[in-house]
Amino acid sequence: MADRWQSYIASIAQCINSAEIPCVLWGHCLLNLHGVPSIIGSIDFVIPDESLMISYEHLSQLSYLESCSDQENCHCSSATRPTPPPGVHYHLKGSEVTVGLYVQSETLWFLPRLDKKLSSPSERTLSEHFVLASDKSVLPPWRPGRASGVIPLPQGDLVVAPKSHVLLEASIRLFARDSGTRIGSFAMAMIAYMEEYVDDDGYVDVEKLPIVLRRHYSELREGQKPVRQWRKELRDSLGISYTESDDD
């Protein structure tokens, strides 16, 4: 992740936080933070549902952002995009890169509501689910064949991110929720990326996954069952109805 992206990430997080709204990193930049190689096509954050429009309006003060001029045809809001679209977005001026805001109910719905204390981030205010983007004790450094990893000071101290086990849990739950769709296929790819680039390198504490998801992840990782059977049992465990059409 180039220095300029790190500066944008910190600036956007600081702007949202200045309105006393918590936000946590998401999307391509979060993947890079955990070492997963990913081209930066967007800079995304998750915020509380009720703060979506307030955050959007607050970001309008950043001179390097501009509103989308063609929502219907914009790739960021397209109904055919393979990844979940943000609730609202801006564009970086003179760039194809977007800035997206996602609501918690569509991304990290399984976690407690984002606490207002996260708008003044410090190690003392973080729960077990989150980490400062500058924390070298948790996040990986840059390594050959991997993405940039930890964001250095001072920018990294301004940004809160989900820990790797939370990102893995989100991917598994997203797959269970949306299997049989483009988004479900994306989520399965995310699980594979987390396994190859993060877990295999020792940067996921799998023991922090809920017991039922830990078991399902282990079964998938070890190839113990056909994916169709694994998917059905995963959805059953999470109380998500399953139909034959989900295999289409």
Q: What is the 3-state secondary structure (H, E, C) of 160-182?
A: EEECHHHHHHHHHHHHHHHCCCH
Reply yes or no on whether the pLDDT at 156 is more than 90. no
Q: What is the pLDDT of residue 152?
A: 87
Tokens of 236: 């059953």
CB 84 within 8 A of CB 182: no
Which tens digit of pLDDT belongs to each residue from 190-214?
Answer: 999 999 999 999 999 999 999 999 9
How many other CB atoms are found less than 10 A from the CB of residue 21? 21
Look up residue 199 and give its DSSP letter: I
CB 182 within 8 A of CB 37: no
pLDDT, greater one: 8 or 241: 8
Q: What is the pLDDT of residue 84?
A: 86
CB 15 within 8 A of CB 51: no
Calculate mean pLDDT across residues 38-48.
Answer: 94
**Separation between Cα atoms, residue 76 and residue 118, nearest integer Å:** 27
Reply yes or no on whether the pLDDT at 248 is more than 60. no
- Sheet of strand 65-67: strand arrangement: 24-26, 42-47, 98-103, 88-92, 65-67
Reply yes or no on whether the pLDDT at 1 is more than 80. no
- Of the pLDDT bands very low, low, confident and very high (cuts 50, 70, 90), residue 244 is low
pTM of the model: 0.93
